[in-house]
Amino acid sequence: MKELLEKPYLNEKEVSAITGRALSTLRNDRFCRRNLPYYKVGTSGRSIRYKSEDVIKWVEGRRISFNEAV
């Protein structure tokens, strides 16, 4: 996992492994233009990449914390 996070850009399978979201969910999110920003690369524009920094920010932005009452 650490090696993945050190890469500047990730493919959808790597993002799925990091976030725990299904490939179909990531694809549906792209279609609906929500959640993670992404890039279309290559001549056909069919190759999708996510910036690892964006993935980390997205995951950290969903943190749930609890106030500890003592």
In a domain, 66, yes or no: no
What pLDDT band is residue 45 in, cutting at 50, 70 and 90? confident
Range of the domain at 41: 2-60
What's the confidence (pLDDT) of residue 43? 83
In a domain, 70, yes or no: no
Q: Each residue of 20-42: pLDDT tens digit?
A: 999 999 999 999 999 999 999 98
We report the CATH number of the domain holding residue 47 as 1.10.10.10
pTM over 0.75: yes
What pLDDT band is residue 3 in, cutting at 50, 70 and 90? confident
Tell me the β-bridge partners of 41: 47
In a domain, 65, yes or no: no
One-letter amino acid of 3: E
In a domain, 68, yes or no: no
In a domain, 67, yes or no: no
pLDDT at 69 over 80: no
Q: How many domains does the structure of the chain reveal?
A: 1
What's the confidence (pLDDT) of residue 13? 95
Complete DSSP assignment for the chain: -HHHHHSSEE-HHHHHHHH---HHHHHHHHHTT-SS--EEESSSS-EEEEEHHHHHHHHHTT----PPP-
